[in-house]
Chains A and B, each alone.
Chain A
Amino acid sequence: SNTKNENIAQPLPSALSTARHIESLESVSYPEGIKSPATDLNRDAKDGKFRYDRGFLLQFMELCKEKPDNLPPMEALGLVGDLSGHAM
Chain B
Amino acid sequence: DMQSQAESIRTVFSDPTNFNVKHPLYSPWTLWFDSPATKGRNLPQTPISAFPQTPIPETPGAVAAQGWMEDIKRVISFDSVEEFWGLYNNIIPPSQLPQKANYYLFKEGIIPAWEDEANKNGGKWSIQLPREKNRGNVDKMWLYTMLAAIGETFDPSPVLSDGSGNAPKSLITGVIVSARPQFYRLSIWTRLAPSATEEDGLRERIEGVGRHFKTGVLGFQEGQKLGGALATEVEFLSHKDSERKGKSAKKIIV
In the complex, number of A-B residue pairs with CB atoms less than 8 Å apart: 175
> What is the size category of the interface that chain B forms with chain A?
35 or more
Chain B 111-149: CB-based contact to A (< 8 A → 1; otherwise 0) = 000000000000000000000000000000000100110
Q: For A12, what are the chain B residues with a Cβ–Cβ distance below 8 Å?
A: none
Q: How far apart are the CA atoms of A21 and B81 in the complex, in Å? A: 10
Shortest distance between the CB of A1 and any CB in chain B (Å):
5
Shortest distance between the CB of A66 and any CB in chain B (Å):
5
Contact of B153 among A51, A65, A71, A87 (CB under 8 A): A51
| A residues lining the B interface (CB < 8 Å) | 1, 3, 6, 10, 15-16, 18-22, 27-31, 34, 37, 41, 46-54, 56-61, 63-68, 70-74, 76-83, 86-88
| B residues lining the A interface (CB < 8 Å) | 2, 6, 9, 11-14, 16-27, 33, 35-38, 41, 43, 45-46, 73, 75-76, 78-92, 96-99, 144, 147-148, 150-153, 158, 166-167
Given contacts A21-B23, A77-B38, 8 further A-B contacts (CB under 8 A): A21-B21, A22-B24, A28-B21, A51-B152, A52-B81, A68-B86, A68-B90, A77-B43
